[in-house]
Structure 1
Amino acid sequence: MSEIVDTRAGATKVLVVEDEFFIADELRRKLTAAGLRVLGPVSSNEHALDLLEQERPDVAVLDVHLGGARATPVAAKLRQLNIPFVLATASPAHELASPVLADAVILEKPTDFGLLIETVRRVVK
């Protein structure tokens, strides 16, 4: 998936990390329509970490499973940078038992986009 960066000044910047193309595209469209600036979407830890080196988001939306990998390296980097994140995942609770994911806001898939947008705005403040 190619990186799309919305350049609207002043908009809340949301990093989207999601490996399912159609979900990632829908997240991008819904967040952009809500007036948020989307960084990505990116589909791997490597791409997310590279993007974090280039630009600092205000918040991130992460899928826990990215292909055969877990998004914990991205979550750890976000915690290090003090950037809040929301997990949008279908993973069961026992798969989220990781110190880096502790206390993360979790929204279950299928994603309620209205709730996601509300949650993103809430965690940024």
Structure 2
Amino acid sequence: MRQKDIDVLRGVRILIVEDEPLLSMAMVDEIEEAGARVVGPVASVEGALEILATTPVDAAILDVELQKQLVYPVADRLIERDVPFVLTTGHDADGLPERYAAVPHSAKPAPASEALTMLADLLSRR
């Protein structure tokens, strides 16, 4: 990860929404190494929405499909709040709804650093 990414991420609260424990743990490690703070991780849409109702977040990494449920309600809530996020998916990203066309996405499995670099780029534009 580039030093400028680490500088941008330092102290940022990042929500992780991921239902695969190994990927989730890798993201937690990468986020903490960059000096950011992990919110979650959570493995369900309901859990993510509960966190968003009570806990401020600055950014998020969302797995598109969680236990056969799509993460779109969480993504929509983040858009309403103007919170940047990255989508990760093991499926064809061309199948994402048009409203997420401008949202960066990472193909799974990819290194956690890929999604985190995309998130740093989004945050640096603010």
TM range (shorter): 0.7 to 0.9
Deviation at 1:13, TM superposition (A): 0.8
SS in 1 for 2:60: strand
Report matched runs for 1:1-125 at 5 Å.
Answer: 11-99=11-99, 101-125=100-124
Flag structure 1 segments of 5+ consecutive residues without an equivalent: 1-9
Inter-CA distance 68–114: structure 2 relative to 1 (3 Å threshold): closer
Structure 2 Cα separation of the partners of residues 114 and 45 of structure 1: 23
Structure 1: how far apart are the matches of 2:78 and 2:84? 7
Report deviation, 1:41: 0.5
Uncovered stretches (5+) of structure 2, i.e. residues with no partner = 1-9
Alpha-carbon displacement from aligned partner over 1:17-68 (angstroms, at most 9, x marks no partner): 0011111111111111111111000000100000001112111000000001
- Counterpart CA distance in 1 for 2:89 and 2:65 is 8
The whole-number CA distance in structure 1 between the counterparts of 2:118 and 2:57 is 15
2:22 partner letter: F
Q: Percent identity?
A: 32
Choose between structure 1 and 2 for higher RCO, CA contacts under 8 A separated by at least 6 residues.
2
Secondary structure at 2:82's aligned position in 1?
Answer: coil
For residues 93 and 121 of structure 1, the distance between their equivalents in structure 2, rounded to whole angstroms, comes to 21
Instruction: Give the CA RMSD over aligned residues.
Output: 1.4
Secondary structure of residue in 2 paired with 1:82:
coil
**CA contact 1:59–1:123 (8 Å) conserved in 2:** no
